[in-house]
């Protein structure tokens, strides 16, 4: 069994991006920029936004966090997005979700210019992904594919079974693996909570992608020998031996499944670190593609 070290790969990607940005700087050129927009007081969102912004700073990217109170209106938020849609210094716009309840998330996502949609949540980005056009792919699915690439895992004609059909993980990774491209071209099955016998499907997986949000749900008897396991889940479970009183586990019972797997991602340190790395990568891509043409 080989461990897929997402932390190591994410560090490599950040270093590669930093080198490219250092080169731009040495040539006196502008650098890519990401603006993160946060509305409301959600503590987890505040932590996510500050870690994304810190990651930008570390590689020399321009970054700014725009914070607004919970009372901020939908219209005011749309106006802020419109301002950044035409700001040449910011190539990526990230609106941290969830938003306060009175704000319609779909309207906000649709207000972001598809040229700056580095989270890949805009319907145009999702549509382009489905029809196989070059686009911004949301960061967690893009990170999963990048891990498969960097470990040279053959996906061509392999049976990928995705458990979970969310808009941010399950559906985009299924569409990504279905594309007629390198490190894709797979036979894809998507499962969800209506599956009466989930293991009937998971046992057929050459590559199993678990994005369920249920601690250690995938057990040894649910996978076949030699499976490649990508565990997206991040779940907190009680742990009296830990000073925090809890520990983080994935959707896969790691030790027992690892014994049968050919490759497996750990939690933490697998898919998780890739998400921010791919956000940086998408922002760099936005700069390269549209840096000179932003409205």
Residue 49 contacts ligand NDP per CB under 6 A: no
Query: Do residues 250 and 267 touch, judged by C-beta distance below 8 A?
Result: yes
Residue 4 contacts ligand NDP per CB under 6 A: no
Stretch that binds ligand NDP, among 10-18, 50-58, 175-183, 269-277 (CB under 6 A): 269-277
Single residue of 169, 222, 228, 278 touching ligand NDP by CB under 6 A: 169
Q: Which CB atom, from 78 or from 234, has the smaller least distance to ligand NDP?
A: 234
Residue count at the site for ligand NDP (CB under 6 A)?
Answer: 25
Sheet holding 2-3, edge to edge: 2-3, 263-264, 228-231, 207-210, 159-163, 187-191
Mapping DSSP to helix (H, G, I), strand (E, B) and coil, where does residue 206 land? coil
Residue 165 contacts ligand NDP per CB under 6 A: yes
Give how far Cα 149 sits from Cα of 82, 115, 143, 152, 198, Å: 36, 25, 10, 5, 27
Q: Which of residues 100-139 bind ligand NDP (CB under 6 A)?
A: none
Beta pairing class for 2-3 and 263-264: parallel
Stretch that binds ligand NDP, among 83-91, 123-131, 212-220, 237-245 (CB under 6 A): 212-220
Q: Which of residues 185-204 bind ligand NDP (CB under 6 A)?
A: 191-195, 198
In eight-state DSSP terms, residue 95 is E
Q: Any idea which residues carry the catalytic annotation?
A: 52, 96, 119
Distance CA 252, CA 160 (A): 16
Q: Which residues pair with 166 in a beta bridge?
A: none
In this chain, which residue has its C-beta nearest to ligand NDP?
166
Binding site for ligand NDP (CB under 6 A): 140, 163-166, 168-170, 191-195, 198, 211-214, 232-235, 271-272, 275
């Amino acid at each position: 069994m080989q461990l897929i070290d997402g932390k190591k790969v994410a560090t490599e990607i950040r270093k590669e991006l930093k080198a490219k940005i250092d080169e731009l700087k040495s040539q006196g050129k502008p650098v890519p920029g990401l603006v993160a927009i946060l509305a409301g007081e959600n503590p987890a969102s505040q932590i996510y936004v500050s870690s994304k912004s810190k990651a930008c700073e570390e590689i020399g990217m321009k970054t700014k966090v725009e914070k607004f109170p919970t009372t901020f209106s939908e219209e005011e938020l749309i106006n802020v997005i419109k301002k950044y849609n035409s700001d040449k210094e910011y190539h990526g716009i990230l609106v941290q979700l969830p938003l306060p309840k009175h704000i319609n998330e779909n309207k906000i996502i649709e207000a972001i210019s598809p040229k700056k949609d580095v989270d890949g949540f805009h319907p145009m980005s999702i549509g382009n992904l489905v029809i196989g056009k070059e686009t911004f792919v949301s960061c967690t699915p893009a990170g999963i594919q990048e891990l498969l690439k960097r470990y040279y895992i053959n996906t061509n004609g392999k049976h990928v079974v995705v458990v979970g059909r969310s808009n941010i993980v399950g559906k985009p990774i299924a569409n990504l693996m279905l594309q007629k491209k390198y490190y894709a071209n797979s036979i894809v099955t998507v499962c969800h909570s209506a599956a009466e016998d989930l293991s009937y499907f998971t046992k057929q997986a050459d590559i199993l992608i678990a994005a369920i949000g249920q601690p250690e749900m995938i057990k040894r008897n649910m996978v076949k020998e030699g499976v490649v396991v990508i565990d997206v889940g991040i779940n907190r479970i009680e742990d009296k031996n830990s000073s925090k009183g809890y520990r983080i586990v994935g959707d896969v019972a790691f030790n027992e499944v690892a014994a049968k797997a050919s490759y497996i991602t750990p939690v933490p340190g697998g898919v998780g670190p890739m998400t921010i790395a791919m956000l940086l990568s998408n922002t760099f891509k936005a700069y390269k593609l549209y840096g000179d043409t932003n409205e």
